[in-house]
Every structure is written in structure tokens, then in C-alpha cells.
Amino acid sequence: MNIIVPIKQVPDLVEGLEIDESGKDLNREWIKLKLNEFDDHALEEALLLKEESGATVTAIAIDSQDIDKVLFTAAAKGADKIIKVTGNFGTTVTSHEAAKALANAISSMQYDLVLTGVQAVDDRDGQIAVLLANYLNVPHVSVVTGVSINGGAVSVMKEYGGGNVAEFECTPPLVLGIQAARQTPRYVPVAKVRQIMKSATLEEVAGGDVSVVAASTVQKFSFPTGGGSAQMIEGSAEEQANKIFELLKEKGIK
């Protein structure tokens, strides 16, 4: 079984986001990036399947800032191959463009399963798993929390709301959008990443034509004012806790 795992970095939301001068994008100069958390789960699920059924795992990413290190980290965790998709990508790649580039690269490879993360925080034009499946012309299941291989068939758990789960039986090749691996994603020490950077090869594949037919046009980025409605409780932690306590009493909760 050949499993391909597309991975990408996203802005770390713990840091403050800034809007750039155009007003139509993030200010990316000082932005801190991190691996999309759902990709970490997708890679973990692929590695679990490899350990159970002897699959080959390939991590693939579109060329972007600091992506080599991300791919070598995947190799250090146990990916057998790492591939960078090259092309004329700007600082931002839409989901459709990314899906097309990945489809162009993957379609010439041998694969049974493609495990992407279920989503990323920045995909304004849709989630990659299903876009990619449609460009590759293979079936898809997304919001997946469990995968098992039984001979030629793949059994997949898909989550709905309210704690409901559906089980599907699928025939590869197919694309799965992974919400959560069956196990917490493994950790790899930096030393091991450094070591693998010396031995592993990072292959490159051209992304090809990524032009997209129709899209909406971004006009403006802005910070949500939501209601901005929360009344803020100020003071020291002790004073804040006091005020919460008074509030709960006042509302008849305590």
C-alpha cells in the first residue's frame, strides 16, 4: 500500500495577526508558521497504517517558506519519501491552486491512499481533501477519525455532529481528509531531524498548470468585531476571581 500525505504550514494563531498595506492579505513579514495540526494527525494515521500493514508513506508539500524542514521532520517521524512540489507560487496559494498542483504531482505517482488534514485555518476557497479528490477523479471521505485496512478494502470512520459516526467501506485509490488520528501524533526530537537532513533526499516535482477557472475576488481583510460584546473584568487575578464570584452570585448561579 502506498500512502501519500500532503502537508502544509499555517500561521500560528497564538501570535497576533496583522493586515498588510494592501488591506487584502496578512502581513507575512514576521508571521510565525507551524505545521497545520490536522496534517500532523494525517501523518500519524499514515504511520500507524504503515506499522500495521507495511505501507510506504510519502510526505509531499508545495514549495513555500521553511518547507524543507517540515518535510525532513516528516521523514524523521517515519515517512519513507519526501517530495517538494515546485512552481511559480506566490506568497499565498489558494486551495484550488494547491489542490491542482498536488493533483498534477500525485497523478503520476503510484498511490492507494492520500491522507490530507481535514482543513486548515486559511482555506477561504474550500478544503483540499475533496478538491484534490475531484482533480484526481477519485472518491473521497473527509472528517475522518479512523482508518483500517482489511485486505484490498479500507474501512473509514467519519464524524458527524452530536457524536454520531458513520462507517464506510472504500476501494482505493481514494483521498481521506483526516480530522484526528487514532493516537496522539508522535513527537520527534530536533536532533533526529538534523540527523535525517544529512541522509534523506528531498525530491522535487513540478506543480504544472494551476490556473483556476472561477473564483471570488478578495476585497478586504478586517478583524471581526463580533459583538466585541464581552464586558471585560479587570484587576489582579484575585480581584478578577472575586468579580466572577460576585457575578455568579448575582445571577443566582452560586
Partner 1 sequence: MSKQIFVITEHLRGKIDDVTYEMLGKGKELAAASGGELVAVLLGHNQKELANEFGAASKVIYADHEKLADFNPWMYAKIVSEIVAQQKPRVVLTAYSSMGIEVAPAVSVSQGISLTAYVSDLSIQDLKVSVVSQIYGGKMNIEAVDENESMIACVLPGSFPADAGKATGSPAVEDFAVSGLDESKIQFKKLIAPDKSDVDITQSEILVSVGRGIQSNDNLPMVEELATKLGGAVSCSRPIVDSKWMPKTRQVGKSGLKVKPKCYLALGISGAPEHIEGMKEADLVIAVNTDPKAPIFDYAHYGVVGDLFDIIPALSAKL
Ligand X SMILES: Nc1ncnc2c1ncn2[C@@H]1O[C@H](COP(=O)(O)O)[C@@H](O)[C@H]1O
Among 7, 143, 144, 193, contact with ligand FAD (rule: CB under 6 A):
143
Total residues found in the chain within this entry: 254
Q: How far is the CB of 43 from ligand FAD (least distance, A)?
A: 16
Q: Is 134 in the site for partner 1 (CB under 8 A)?
A: yes
Interface with ligand X includes 6 (CB under 6 A)?
Answer: yes
Interaction partner, residue 62 (ligand FAD, partner 1, ligand X, none; CB < 5-8 Å by kind):
ligand X
Alpha helices for 8-127 (secondary structure H)? 37-53, 67-77, 95-106
What is the Cα–Cα distance from 27 to 78, expressed in whole angstroms?
34
Residue 44 interacts with ligand X (CB under 6 A)? Answer: no
Nearest to 113 by CA among 45, 40, 172: 172
Kind of pairing, strands 9-11 and 33-35?
A: antiparallel
**Within 10 A of 177 (CB to CB), how many other CB atoms are there?**
24
Query: x/- string (CB under 6 A) for ligand X, residues 92-131?
Result: -x-x--x---x-------------xx-xx--x---xx---
Among 83, 85, 105, 143, contact with partner 1 (rule: CB under 8 A):
143
For the bound state, the minimum distance from the C-beta of residue 13 to ligand FAD, rounded and expressed in Å, comes to 6
Q: Is 3 or 120 the residue whose CB approaches ligand X more closely?
A: 120
Q: How far is CA 179 from CA 42, 50, 214, in A?
A: 8, 18, 28
If contact means CB under 5 to 8 A according to the sort of partner, which of ligand X, ligand FAD, partner 1, none does residue 197 touch?
Answer: none
The string of DSSP letters for 113-180 reads EEEEES--TT-TT--HHHHHHHHHT--EEEEEEEEEEETTEEEEEEE-GGG-EEEEEE-SSEEEEES-
CB of 244 to ligand X, least distance (A): 36
C-beta separation of 117 from 42 below 8 A? yes
64 binds ligand FAD (CB under 6 A): no
Q: How many Å apart are CA 124 and CA 154, to the nearest integer?
A: 30
- Name the segment binding ligand X (CB under 6 A); options: 36-44, 146-154, 163-171, 243-251: 36-44
Q: Which entry of partner 1, ligand X, ligand FAD, none binds 116, CB below 5 to 8 A by partner kind?
A: ligand X
Q: Is 62 in the site for ligand X (CB under 6 A)?
A: yes
Give the whole-angstrom CA distance, residue 177 versus residue 185. 16
Cα 105 from Cα 181, distance rounded (Å): 25
Which cell numbers hold the place of 172?
A: 482505493
Measured from the CB atom, the residue of 62 and 138 that comes closer to ligand X is 62
Which residues contribute to the site for ligand FAD (CB under 6 A)?
Answer: 118-119, 143, 179
- Residues within the interface to ligand X (CB under 6 A): 6-8, 36, 38-39, 42, 61-62, 93, 95, 98, 102, 116-117, 119-120, 123, 127-128
